[in-house]
Amino acid sequence: MKKYLVEFIGTFFLVSAVGLTGNPLAIGAMLMVMVFMGGHISGAHYNPAVTLAVLIRGKIKMNEALVYMVFQLLGAIVAAVFCMELMGGKTFAPAPKEGINVLKPLLAELVFTFALASVVLNVATHTKTANNSFYGLAIGFTVLASAYCVGGISGGAFNPAVATGPILVDTFNHGNSINHLWIYIVGCFGGGAIAGILFRFINPDEI
């Protein structure tokens, strides 16, 4: 239960940073410190796409991965409600650039979620980087750089929980962001899956 609670807490603060600031620096920094906070307990995924990558890589079992994802989603939902209360009832949700061809934000989410999941697998699960002291920085800066690169194109979620929690709360409050949810489900999980598969191909000795 300790692992799941850490996943809830880390995802809660990550989504809170997204909702309250929308600032890539704050979001990357929050993810970094939360990774350092919970990495030794749960692995500090805070992201269902990362959990999928770790599952494919073989470092977590299916039943545990599913519970991780549930607690990540719960953390995101609670954070979205928390932000809504602090912001006077205003909701938030990631959204692609208005009027853009939908394939562009989909591709952006897939590619940069792949980058994030690949960094996590190589700095936090590889035996050659075991017990390093930089993994939180690497993961936080990946999200920071990714948000600056394509945040204006896709909304910069790189995380199905970061998208789904706020979108569900926004939809419950009569928003229409649900129309974009599939982009983050398909793109983010696709990027995580490719990262896990490619890790196994590049590092057969790690399997």
> Domain containing 161 — which CATH number?
1.20.1080.10
**Number of domains the chain is built from:** 1
pTM to 2 decimal places? 0.97
Rounded mean pLDDT, 123-142: 94
Domain encompassing residue 138: 2-206
Give Cβ neighbours of residue 66 (< 8 Å, ≥ 6 apart): none
> Cβ distance 50 to 138 under 8 Å?
no
> Cβ distance 184 to 160 under 8 Å?
yes
Rounded mean pLDDT, 67-88: 98
The pLDDT of residue 207 is 80
Q: Which amino acid type is present at position 145?
A: A
The pLDDT of residue 33 is 98
- Both tokens of 27, joined, read 């979001």
Q: Could you say which DSSP state residue 129 is in?
A: G
Q: What are the start-end ranges of the H helices in the chain? A: 2-21, 24-42, 48-57, 62-86, 103-124, 135-154, 160-172, 181-202
Q: How far apart are the C-alpha atoms of 51 and 182, rounded to whole Å?
A: 18
